[in-house]
């Protein structure tokens, strides 16, 4: 291991600047799930814990090549931060080997740089993982070469670039006659005279969530003696290339049944073809529910093409007219904006306003009763409304698991399962109201009872009669 040079640091800085815009998350690529509301860039690599490592470079071996040579199948090789100028190129030919950086590629003091002029890193085995490195090609060769017969290889969270802008015939990442390869969350740039990612006579592979720029061809797919079928290319940002995606078909080659969707193409030429390509699908294999400009829609989803001039009359973010690539290849659902403007895999929310609990009172009956205690019993009935809010969290899949049977390199029938899932967490508020009748009885003093008033006033006639009676009574008493 040698000290880092100013040139290498400058390249790292350039990579950071040009990948500052985050890209949509592809989940479960390396067994970790992420939330779509927090999109991740290639820099989201999480280094392993040192206790998981079987071999550590340079503690156990001074070079990556020596550590790979000494490792047993299935072991984990971890590489400490630093710059490694490899004297010899490295071939991983042992199944299950994992080569992992102990630092993050976006942080200069933590990055792990592997550089060499010429043969650099080749994978020719199955179930191999390479993650977290800056691969710097300084001569004439590939950055990472996944060679014939490899299966179930995962290449993620790497920066693959070159200082040789005139390199020709070699590529940033090449997948050659291999299957079930996942190339995801990488940044590939600077291959100005050649291709960033080259899928060469290979089928059943996944190219997802990569940032690919400043190359001759962003992605090139070729069919010749062996077919190039059932490859999935999605969620990639492919910009500032001479050709965004290029199909090359030799006589007798079969380049068909590939799926290309939810990519952003903004290049000098977004599409190119050599030969007669077969029919491929340029939109999603299923309808997605998505949020676009704060509204929710459900539709199939194609790609964003910078040269698409269609309209969007209903405002759902999908063009009203298809985007024709060639007569056999048409994007039926072109996106109006880059794919990062769409939040995909969400559930349309049901909005229920949440109100502050209220209490209403209604006087229903009043009963007055005169009792010996001189009180009145009054009954009031209150209606009390309580509001209960429940939060429900749902996790929804973006892309389902798909099993594809195809003919692999050795003409054997290979059945493979590719799982690419994007998850998102949706919070739904559910409000319930409960009405409770409450009765309250209280007493209060009774009102005073009115006493009848007797009128003792007499009329004149009555007075005369009373005098006569008194006179007669006196006369009778005197005679006796």
Q: Where are the domains of the chain?
A: 6-350+397-408, 352-396+409-447
Q: What is the pLDDT of residue 473?
A: 64
pLDDT of the residue at 252 = 87
Q: Of the candidates 88, 215, 64, 191, which has an alpha carbon nearest to the alpha carbon of residue 140?
A: 191
pLDDT for the residue numbered 479: 62
Reduced to 3 states (helix: H, G, I; strand: E, B; else coil), residue 455 is coil
Q: What is the pLDDT of residue 32?
A: 28
- Dmax over Cα atoms in the chain, in whole Å? 170
Helix or strand or coil: residue 470? helix
Residue the block writes with tokens 């799926």 = 259
pLDDT given for residue 337 in this prediction: 97
Strand partners, 445: 375
Residue 343: partners with Cβ closer than 8 Å, 6 or more residues away: 36, 37, 290, 291, 292, 424
What's the DSSP call for residue 235?
Answer: S
Q: What is the pTM of this model?
A: 0.67
Spans of the chain below 50 pLDDT? 1-42, 356-383, 385-389, 395-429, 431, 435, 440-444, 446, 449-458
Instruction: Name 46's Cβ contacts closer than 8 Å, sequence gap at least 6.
Output: 32
Query: What residues contact residue 193 under an 8 Å CB cut-off, 6+ apart?
Result: 165, 166, 167, 168, 216
pLDDT in tens, 403-412: 444 443 333 4
pLDDT at 478: 62
pLDDT of res. 460: 55
pLDDT value at position 456?
43
Q: Report pLDDT for 278.
A: 83
Structure tokens at 381: 């009935």
Under 8 Å between Cβ of 183 and 420:
no
pLDDT for the residue numbered 27? 30
Bond from prior residue into 94 cis (ω within 30 degrees of 0):
no
Q: How high is the pLDDT of residue 348? A: 65
At 471 the pLDDT is 62
Give the separation between CA 126 and CA 408, rounded to whole angstroms: 14
Q: Please give the CATH topology (third level) of the domain spanning 6-350+397-408.
A: Pectate Lyase C-like (2.160.20)
Q: Which of 166, 80, 88, 157 is nearest to 122 (CA)?
A: 88
For the stretch 449-460, pLDDT in tens is: 444 444 444 455
Q: What is the pLDDT of residue 445?
A: 52
């Amino acid at each position: 291991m040698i000290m880092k040079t100013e040139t290498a640091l400058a390249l790292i800085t350039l990579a950071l600047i040009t990948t500052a815009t985050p890209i949509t998350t592809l989940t479960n690529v390396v067994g970790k799930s992420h939330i779509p509301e927090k999109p991740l860039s290639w820099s989201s690599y999480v280094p392993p814990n040192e206790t998981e490592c079987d071999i550590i470079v340079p503690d156990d071996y001074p070079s990556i090549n020596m550590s790979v040579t000494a490792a047993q199948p299935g072991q984990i090789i971890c590489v400490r931060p630093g710059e490694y100028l490899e004297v010899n190129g490295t071939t991983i030919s042992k199944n299950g080997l994992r080569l992992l950086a102990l630092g993050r590629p976006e942080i200069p003091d933590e990055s792990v740089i592997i550089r060499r002029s010429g043969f650099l890193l080749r994978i020719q085995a199955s179930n191999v993982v390479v993650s977290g490195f800056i691969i710097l090609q300084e001569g004439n060769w590939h950055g990472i070469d996944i060679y014939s017969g490899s299966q179930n290889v995962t290449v993620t969270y790497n920066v693959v670039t070159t200082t040789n802008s005139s390199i020709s015939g070699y590529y940033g990442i090449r997948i050659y006659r291999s299957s079930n390869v996942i190339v995801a969350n990488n940044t590939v740039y600077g291959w100005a005279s050649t291709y960033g990612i080259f899928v060469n006579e290979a089928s059943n592979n996944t190219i997802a969530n990569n940032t690919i720029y400043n190359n001759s061809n962003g992605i090139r797919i070729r069919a010749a003696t062996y077919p190039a079928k059932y490859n999935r290319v999605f969620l990639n940002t492919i910009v500032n290339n001479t050709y965004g995606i290029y199909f090359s078909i030799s006589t007798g080659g079969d380049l068909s049944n590939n799926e290309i969707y939810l990519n952003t193409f903004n290049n000098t030429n977004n599409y190119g073809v050599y030969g007669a390509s077969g029919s491929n699908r340029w939109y999603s294999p299923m309808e997605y529910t998505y949020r676009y400009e704060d509204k929710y829609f459900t539709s199939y989803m194609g790609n964003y093409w910078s040269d698409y001039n269609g309209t969007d009359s209903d405002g759902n973010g999908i063009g009203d007219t298809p985007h024709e690539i060639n007569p056999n290849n048409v994007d039926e659902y072109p996106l109006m904006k880059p794919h990062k403007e769409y939040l995909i895999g969400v559930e349309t929310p049901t909005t229920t306003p949440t109100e502050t609990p209220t209490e209403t009172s209604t006087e229903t009956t009043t009963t007055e009763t005169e009792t010996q205690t001189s009180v009145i019993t009054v009954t009031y009935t209150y209606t009390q409304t309580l509001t209960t809010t429940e939060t429900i969290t749902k996790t929804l899949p973006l892309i389902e698991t798909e099993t594809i049977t195809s003919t692999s390199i050795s003409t054997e029938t290979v059945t493979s399962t590719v799982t690419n899932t994007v998850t998102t967490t949706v919070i739904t508020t559910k409000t319930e109201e409960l009405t409770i009748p409450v009765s309250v009885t209280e007493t209060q003093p009774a009102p005073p009872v009115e006493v009848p008033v007797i009128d003792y006033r007499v009329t004149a006639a009555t007075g005369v009669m009373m005098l006569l009676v008194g006179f007669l009574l006196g006369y009778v008493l005197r005679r006796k």
